Structure 1
Amino acid sequence: MFLFFTIINLVFLTLFLILRSLDQLPSPPPFFTSPSPPKTNIIKDCSTTDDILAIEYITLNPDPPIRGHVLNIKAAGNLNETIDQGSYVDVLVRLGLVQLYKGKLDFCKEIEQNFKLKCPLKKGMHKVDSDVNVPKEIPMGKYTVDAQAYTKNGRRIACLKAETVFKP
């Protein structure tokens, strides 16, 4: 059960750090007009231009994450509309070919519990820079995570896919 919650927390961390408003920007910062920061190979943005969140970048350090170490996540994106109560995330987590979890989670409840944020999340540009401890107890293996966030009306907010291997 610990493994399940660790993986789910890593998924939510990635998705919600993008939305977490550490610095509400009135206009695009300089890095949006210069060459973009490198993107991680672990997390893929499977969103489309029709989605509410336009992700500019996601970087991890170290990339890939290492068990028992601090993981720094930097991300930036633009919400094209406000996210309200009733939003949810469809999540699928696998270890190799074994499905560990498939379900729907309350978006607003998760960000409140994990990040002390409350819905509604306001429209606009957001960037984040946060550190997370990766538990050393995560079992070795290849993990894949698919997460798609939706509004209460079923409009997709974002789509993220993650794949990493935790080594000894």
Structure 2
Amino acid sequence: MLFPVPLVFLLSLVNGLSLNPFAFPGQDTKPVPGDSPLLLCDSSSSQLLKLTHVDVAPNPPERGTNLTIVARGDLSKEVDEGAYVEVDVTYGYIKLLHQTYDLCEELPNVDMECPLKKDNYDLTKIVEIPNEVPPGTYTVIARAFTADDELITCLTGSVAFPPYGSKNLIKFLLQD
């Protein structure tokens, strides 16, 4: 179940994604099959994970809702300790985060552990999107690598959270 880690990790980091051509390392992207804002980046490079389907609901993600992620993919090679994920997050054109995470340390967040076996995987995960997400465009790109620097997958995606409307503003102000 490797594919959900970058996906869930991305979505939970910023609780939303956004397409921004200046944040991509080139324009080598293609949509991930299914109903989601996700794109496969570095798509001409060989990747160990083939996402066959990803649905997110609601699409696009909304403040104050639970985001349900249903994903399916095929992992073509075992992934062991030492695997890592490089994550970049921008808000508009402002870089919020550039961080490297130990993939095996993050796997328990999706009820998994290393090593990840070569196999087909299905996952359903729910991520809460807080009301406090500021309006704006968020860009996330995550690349997962094995300990030997083989590309597991590269994902990016899009969501722009609109300015607070009167309904959302009242809901936001009435929170504890």
Bin of the TM-score, shorter chain as denominator length: 0.7 to 0.9
* CA deviations over 1:62-110 (Å, ceiling 9, x no partner): 1000011011111110000111110001111000000000121111111
Distance in 2, Cα, partners of 1:57 & 1:153: 27
* CA deviations over 1:7-59 (Å, ceiling 9, x no partner): x9650659xxxxxxxxxxxxxxxxxxxxxx7332x211124462100110111
Rg bigger for which structure? 2
Distance in 2, Cα, partners of 1:65 & 1:13: 11
- Equivalent of 2:54, from 45, 50, 58? 58
Partner of 1:18: none
Matched, 1:160 2:117: no
Partner of 1:76: 72
Matched, 1:98 2:94: yes
Distance in 2, Cα, partners of 1:107 & 1:140: 30
Instruction: Report the CA distance shift for 1:12/1:123 in structure 2 as closer, same or farther (over 3 A).
Output: farther
Matched, 1:131 2:126: yes
Give the TM-score normalised by structure 1. Answer: 0.75
SS in 2 for 1:157: strand
Matched, 1:38 2:37: no
Instruction: Report the CA distance shift for 1:120/1:13 in structure 2 as closer, same or farther (over 3 A).
Output: farther
* CA deviations over 1:87-138 (Å, ceiling 9, x no partner): 00111100000000012111111112x2232100111100112222111111
SS in 1 for 2:106: helix
Moved over 4 A (4+): none
Q: Counterpart amino acid of 2:115? A: P
Give the TM-score normalised by structure 2. Answer: 0.72
- Equivalent of 2:136, from 135, 141, 158? 141
- Equivalent of 1:107, from 99, 103, 110? 103
Identity of aligned residues (%): 34
Instruction: Report the CA distance shift for 1:159/1:78 in structure 2 as closer, same or farther (over 3 A).
Output: same
Q: How well do the aligned residues superpose, as a CA RMSD in angstroms?
A: 2.2
Instruction: Report the CA distance shift for 1:87/1:130 in structure 2 as closer, same or farther (over 3 A).
Output: same
Contact 2:11-2:127 at 8 Å conserved across structures: no
What runs of 5+ residues in structure 2 fail to find an aligned partner?
1-6, 14-32, 165-176
Instruction: Report the CA distance shift for 1:127/1:61 in structure 2 as closer, same or farther (over 3 A).
Output: same
Distance in 2, Cα, partners of 1:60 & 1:9: 11
